[in-house]
Amino acid sequence: MTSRRKFLRGAALAAPATLATPALVRAQETIQWRFQTYAGAALGEQVTKPVIDYINANANGELQVELFYADQIVPTGELFQALQRGTLDGVHSDDDSMASPTPTRQFGGYFPFATKHILDVPVLFNQYGLADIWREEYAKVGVAWLSAAGQDPCNFNTTREITSVSDLDGLKLYTFPTAGRFLSQFGVVPVNIPYEDAEVAVQTGELDGMAWSGITEDYTVGWADVTDYFLTNNISGAWIGSFFVNQERWEELPEHLKSVVMAGIEAGHTYRNQWYWGGEARLRAQGDKLELRSVPAEEWMQVEEAARTFWDEIAQEGEVEQRIVSIFRDYNQVINQAGAPYTNG
């Protein structure tokens, strides 16, 4: 009996250790990803880092993502190539800035007057079919498109006052490729330089300002310190940017880690929605670095009308372009009929 008791007691003590052993064995080595964003460090802290932090905190050590900011590994214009060949595993960017070879390129970033507000972007992708188009087009070129979201509008912050459309003439502006192509008809001179050089370029006179963001970014990245005026008129209500992953890296990822990545991206979308929406209002109302200027709405209408012609030109470039422009037209018709608050500028 004494021996039997000792045996049972020993077995009971050994059981927890035996059951715990599998949890101590890692099924695989930590997956390492290198991820670069279009944004510089100050902006990236708000628009990309929360996503990466979420993934690293919730992947249980199975996936570790290292974040790099604008131009740290490759120039922003080479992000797609680096992603496709595996130099980078993931990217946060708009299609336009990263020189995407897909028909979606000119619709990322700021496609003129395609949106009114930040929430238009997820609606267009999730309710109007843009997500299907983006996913299909990137699958053709070895890249997994994961998700898109809106950010800030495309206003102007400049060293010169803009109170009329004619004041755009001759302005040297740092802007997105497609936005620059559109604005050139009003005399704007688009200047293509590395993101981190833009602030100094204003100080040296190489630039007169930026048509790159809303007022939240102007204050966050330091542009409000080197420009004087903020134009409340915009050429687009929200930036369209996406998260991308090299197709092979994405396919290799276990399903539970894919879920963690997607949850991190969606959490980041939610954070940016309130950060931008609140920031735009607060800094217009209470910011003390930029003086607000506006072009009368009836005069600015000529810029919006020019965008419709621009849409027609883009739609003629291919079948995919035609599909995307058609979606923008359908959505704009809906919100114009809906009225306020959907069409408030």
Question: CATH number of the domain that 204 lies in?
Answer: 3.40.190.170
Distance CA 80, CA 74 (A): 10
267 in the same domain as 221 = no
Instruction: Single out the residue of 79, 78, 151, 81 nearest to residue 109, CA to CA.
Output: 151
118 in the same domain as 220 = no
Order of all β-strands in the sheet with 90-93: 63-68, 31-37, 90-93, 240-246, 143-150
Is the pLDDT assigned to residue 72 strictly greater than 50? yes
pLDDT confidence of residue 87: 97
Mark out the alpha helices in 109-252 (DSSP H runs): 120-126, 130-139, 177-183, 198-204, 215-221, 247-252
249 in the same domain as 159 = no
Is the pLDDT assigned to residue 16 strictly greater than 90? no
79 in the same domain as 99 = yes
Joined tokens for residue 283:
């800094």
Q: Are 63 and 27 in contact (CB under 8 A)?
A: no
Residue 260: inside a domain, yes or no? yes
Q: Is 222 exposed, middle or buried (0-12, 13-18, 19+ CB in 10 A)?
A: middle
Residue 323: inside a domain, yes or no? no
Residue 17: inside a domain, yes or no? no
210 in the same domain as 98 = no
216 in the same domain as 130 = no
- Alpha carbon distances (Å) from 71 to 47, 78, 198, 224: 16, 9, 13, 22
With a pLDDT cut of 90, the percent of the chain lying above it is 91
Residue 201: inside a domain, yes or no? yes
Domain holding 259, by residue range, is 29-151+239-285
Over residues 184-209, the pLDDT tens digits come to 999 999 999 999 999 999 999 999 99
- C-alpha 245: how far from chain center: 14
163 in the same domain as 120 = no
Residue 177: inside a domain, yes or no? yes
pLDDT confidence of residue 344: 65
Over residues 122-168, the pLDDT tens digits come to 999 999 999 999 999 999 999 999 999 999 999 999 999 999 999 99
Q: Are 103 and 321 in contact (CB under 8 A)?
A: yes
Distance CA 317, CA 136 (A): 18
Is the pLDDT assigned to residue 4 strictly greater than 90? no
Residue 332: inside a domain, yes or no? no
Q: Is 150 exposed, middle or buried (0-12, 13-18, 19+ CB in 10 A)?
A: buried
86 in the same domain as 52 = yes
pLDDT confidence of residue 21: 38
Q: Please, what is the Cα angle at 43 between 37 and 48, to 5 degrees?
A: 45
pLDDT confidence of residue 343: 86
Residue entry with tokens 């058609």:
326
Residue 51: inside a domain, yes or no? yes
Tally of domains within the chain: 2
Residue 18: inside a domain, yes or no? no
36 in the same domain as 172 = no
Mark out the alpha helices in 48-176 (DSSP H runs): 49-58, 79-85, 120-126, 130-139
Is the pLDDT assigned to residue 11 strictly greater than 60? no
With a pLDDT cut of 70, the percent of the chain lying above it is 91
Burial string for 115-136 (b: 16+ CB within 10 Å, else e) reads bbbbbbbbbbbeebebbebbee
109 in the same domain as 41 = yes
pLDDT confidence of residue 175: 97
Over residues 314-333, the pLDDT tens digits come to 999 999 999 999 999 999 99
162 in the same domain as 185 = yes
Return the higher-pLDDT residue of 43 and 343: 43
Q: Are 212 and 174 in contact (CB under 8 A)?
A: yes
Distance CA 25, CA 64 (A): 18
222 in the same domain as 115 = no
Hey, which residues does 63 pair with through a beta bridge? 31
- How far separated are the first and last CA of the chain, in Å rounded? 87
